[in-house]
Amino acid sequence: MNTYWNNKRIVVTGGSGFLGSYVVDMLKQRGAAPEAITIPRRATDDLRAMEVCRRVVEGQDIIIHMAASVGGIGINREKPGEFFYDNLMMGVQLMEAARQAGVGKFVAIGTICAYPKFTPIPFHEENLWDGYPEETNAPYGLAKKMLLVQSQAYRQQYGFESIYLLPVNLYGPRDNFDPRSSHVIPALIKKCVEAVAANAATIEVWGDGSPTREFLYVEDAAEGIVLAAERYNESEPVNLGSGMEISIRDLVETIARLTGFQGDIVWDASKPNGQPRRQLDVQRAEQYFGFRAHTSFEEGLRRTIEWYKQQG
């Protein structure tokens, strides 16, 4: 019987969001008392304000920080300043407030966007500082990357226990399907399902289909985060991924097949591709805290498509 979470008070920022809601579910499954989990709400808890951060962390044992201003390429290009400021201020102030309050452990969730634009495949954690991130999401990626610097500096100076995880692109039920701010998988599912319903002959997709991505099913990601919180206590960054790689072209064709869309795919090469390739080395997560993704990509896509259709 897992007893790690017994009598621990936990704050999960972003706990009502896509990934956060699964992390909260996983915490309960692994023994955390529901009443011991606090989920700050954006409407009443603006984590960009230091006084709010201090109030949120007071009397807590563990902070899992997942709250973020985030989205796909389009909204990253539209709001680079907002994404930089919001993510930097939330993370840096929350960790400082946690240190001041004597919180036992801080789990910082970073982003794959922190890696350099041209990173050798597979991405090793040691490659993080080998270049500048892909331009369309660099402000977001760098803001999140500062939590790694802070984590390592605070451990060195204060002995503060914090860890930094780098999840790859996530997908699954409960994802954001708003076409203005969604990531690639929900955006494509929405396009294909609506095209089938409308009997449309074509769908349009950004870029030329050549970039590659790795995807991690959201329930697997939640398990990885909770296992790391329980078992890992170093400030070296750790990738969370599935270890797979698929081109955007193959991804679109797979989603079209699974949704029943049989029309033509029109590529808009005037739109940005984003980072050329993404695939993580995932050995460190298995070595340090026993995490390995177990949901196959097609099975995860089927569940996501089915959930989206059920939402109407």
Tens of pLDDT, residue by residue over 238-249, are: 999 999 999 999
User: Average model confidence (pLDDT) for the chain?
Assistant: 95
Q: Positive or negative, the Cα torsion across 115, 121, 122, 127?
A: negative
pLDDT at 181 > cutoff 80? no
Band the pLDDT of 260: cuts 50, 70, 90.
very high
Q: For residue 74, what pLDDT is reported?
A: 75
The pLDDT confidence band at residue 1, using thresholds 50, 70 and 90, is low
253 closest CA partner among 241, 240, 262 = 262
Percent of the chain at pLDDT above 70? 99
Task: For Cα atoms 279, 285, 288, give the angle at the middle one, nearest 5 degrees.
Answer: 155
Query: What are the boundaries of each domain within the chain?
Result: 10-171+215-244+277-295
Residue entry with tokens 């985060």: 225
pLDDT of residue 75: 74
Catalytic residue among 140, 164, 171, 308: 140
Question: Could you tell me the pTM of the whole model?
Answer: 0.94
What torsion, rounded to 10 degrees, do the Cα atoms 158, 161, 167, 171 define?
Answer: -130
Under the banding of pLDDT at 50, 70 and 90, the label for residue 264 is: very high
- The CATH H-level superfamily of 10-171+215-244+277-295 is NAD(P)-binding Rossmann-like Domain (3.40.50.720)
- pLDDT score of 49: 98
274 — pLDDT class (breaks 50, 70, 90)? confident
Sequential DSSP letters for 169-180: EEE-TT----TT
pLDDT reading at 72 higher than 90: no
What residues contact residue 223 under an 8 Å CB cut-off, 6+ apart? 26, 291
Residue 66's identity, in one-letter code, is: M
Query: Mind listing the pLDDT tens digit for each residue in 210-229?
Result: 999 999 999 999 999 999 99
Alpha-carbon span 273 to 187, nearest angstrom: 15
The answer to whether the beta carbons of residues 161 and 154 sit under 8 Å apart is: no
User: What type of residue is 194?
Assistant: E
Q: Is 140 a catalytic residue?
A: yes
Mean pLDDT of 45-63: 98
pLDDT at 69: 84
For 99-118, what is the mean pLDDT? Answer: 96
Residue 180 confidence (pLDDT): 80
> pLDDT tens for residues 137-163?
899 999 999 999 999 999 999 999 999
Q: Torsion-angle region of residue 68: left (phi > 0), alpha (psi -120 to 50) or beta?
A: beta
